[in-house]
A and B are shown apart, each in its own frame.
Chain A
């Protein structure tokens, strides 16, 4: 059974940093691209970033480019989202999902950016 478990969310001040993790199980992790999607309170879904299966390539939404870094450890079956220079508008539930097609989703972790 495919499982994705996010962690690392919490309250952070504007300008601060946070690192999210997503631990994967139930499939051959190194064969699949992975994606982060976020959802601000009461809003729709927003694509954040996708990383290739090897980790050599990552793509970012314009809203996070230069501030967020997506990485993966194929030995630990885990992906990471390093979020720097956080803004109020980054407040959201962050979901990790498998593949660019987002065939499986985690339950999400809440990030709140507030002073």
Chain B
């Protein structure tokens, strides 16, 4: 089975831009879609990015996703940070029959 590795935590000031990485340990990042989920304390996760770079309706365009085959990683970028973006963020992908989550990244908006 493969793993998805995320930084444990990131922090940035309101109005700035932050990028959270998700590195795949084996297999190619482009071979299966990557999703990103936001989870605020005490709440269920919600999808902010699906299929590498697609935003569900209702998710602001401050959220964007990308993949980089050279580093075998995916990234979630949040621009124009707001206090409400403070949450845990998880990446997710598969290799056919196994589905894997990254360990999660806590975003603190200072």
Which residues from chain A sit less than 8 Å from chain B, CB to CB? Answer: 35, 37, 44-47, 50, 59, 61-62, 95, 100-108
Q: Which residues on the A side are within 8 Å of B16 (C-beta)? A: none
Q: Which residues on the A side are within 8 Å of B97 (C-beta)? A: 59
Interface centre among B33, B39, B47 (most CB of A within 10 A): B47
Inter-subunit contact A101/B45 (CB<8 Å): no
Chain A contact residues, majority secondary structure: loop
| Contact indicator per residue, chain B 83-110, by CB within 8 Å of chain A (1) or not (0) | 0000010101010011111111000000
Report how far A50 CA is from B97 CA in the complex, Å.
9
Count of interface residues, chain B, beta-carbon cutoff 8 Å: 24
Known contacts A44-B90, A95-B45; A102/B100 CB under 8 A: no
Q: Closest Cβ of chain A: how far from B104's Cβ, in Å?
A: 4
Q: Which residues on the B side are within 8 Å of A37 (C-beta)? A: 45, 101
Known contacts A47-B99, A50-B99; A102/B104 CB under 8 A: no
Known contacts A45-B37, A45-B101, A50-B99; A102/B44 CB under 8 A: no
Chain B contact residues, majority secondary structure: strand
Inter-subunit contact B101/A47 (CB<8 Å): yes
CB within 8 Å: A-B pair count: 54
Q: Closest Cβ of chain B: how far from A63's Cβ, in Å?
A: 11
Known contacts A45-B101, A47-B101, A50-B99; A104/B94 CB under 8 A: no
Known contacts A100-B94, A102-B47; A44/B101 CB under 8 A: yes
Report how far A26 CA is from B99 CA in the complex, Å.
25
Q: Which residues on the A side are within 8 Å of B33 (C-beta)? A: 101
Q: Which residues on the A side are within 8 Å of B99 (C-beta)? A: 35, 47, 50, 59, 100
Q: Which residues on the A side are within 8 Å of B47 (C-beta)? A: 101-105
Q: Closest Cβ of chain B: how far from A61's Cβ, in Å?
A: 8
| Contact indicator per residue, chain B 37-79, by CB within 8 Å of chain A (1) or not (0) | 1010000111100110000100000000000000000000000
Q: Closest Cβ of chain A: how far from B25's Cβ, in Å?
A: 16
